[in-house]
Structure 1
């Protein structure tokens, strides 16, 4: 049975589709990855500056069309990756039962970074992600009481440098997650 990941941002044309494209490019076929926006620009492709960054790293963003976040998408997702705490709140407001499987991307990256080698096991990426979610959530008490920046910068309408900073935040957050999956 596939494991489903849903990335959520505002317009679904910059941050969340970049997460979708990056994860699709590195995870095996046991994982289904999608994205949506809380105020999606429905039907639009990935914004040109973000698409250029993805393509330059070998992850072409072709065939993408933005879609609106609806409860059905959240209900079908095994893991929801929000790009800001506000997006996380919007997901949980739509589907309160998703609270334990909805994290900000940067939170998942931070929590994954404190897991040791061999923290998750499985025969494919679906099994490893299914093991990663409770392991990462169990790390939350170790991070309690500290200030964390869980916002991935929204680059829409800003400079190429802002797109680069946003993209780098995405990659930086995904790196420890992928390291745990591959350990």
Structure 2
């Protein structure tokens, strides 16, 4: 069993949304050394850097390592070594599951996971943690299981598009900003849930 908890963010080209999500998560979770974070694309522009406007937005949120990013293609090995997969849209989530059906219970759109995290109570979280172990990695994996259970109580959205983060690729800066405004609160909710599982007195 790996002694780290791996988060993978996924979009299409791996130069806008998923690397921004990766950078936001890295910035907010850097003090939990057991967590590793990376990104990939379903049709990646392999080897390309993060889009310049996305880098600018990432820097505005405190990211520091954007220049090192290079796009890579998602694959089955990468998916199956991830404990939590955060897709930017329902189409990305579907592509991930088609590529590796075994990760179905670990893949969510990032906005879906955020909604689930907000209705996952401390009692449910504590119950799942009690079934696993007390190490940070055990607690983080238990948190994903607890969120999965919350799928049973979360009502469907009237507009399913609200589960997606809009694609800003080759669009004007205001679309990049609107995409980031959808993404950042979702990332905040993911971070909050993971911190509750590791740091909270459950």
Measured after TM superposition, the shift of residue 115 of structure 1 is 2.1
TM-score by length of structure 1 reads 0.92
2:181 to 168, 171, 179: 168
Within-5 A mapping of 1:129-168 = 129-147=140-158, 148=160, 149-168=162-181
2:22 to 2, 20, 30: 20
What CA distance in whole angstroms lies between the structure 2 residues aligned with 1:123 and 1:116? 20
User: Once structures 1 and 2 are overlaid, which stretch shifts more, 72-81 or 142-151?
Assistant: 142-151
Q: Number of aligned pairs?
A: 182
Measured after TM superposition, the shift of residue 21 of structure 1 is 1.1
Measured after TM superposition, the shift of residue 151 of structure 1 is 0.8
Structure 2: which 5+ runs fail to align? Answer: 197-202
Structure 1: which 5+ runs fail to align? Answer: none
1:4 to 3, 6, 13: 6
* Cross-structure match for 1:45: 49
* RMSD (Å), alpha carbons: 1.6
Point out the structure with max Rg over C-alpha: 2
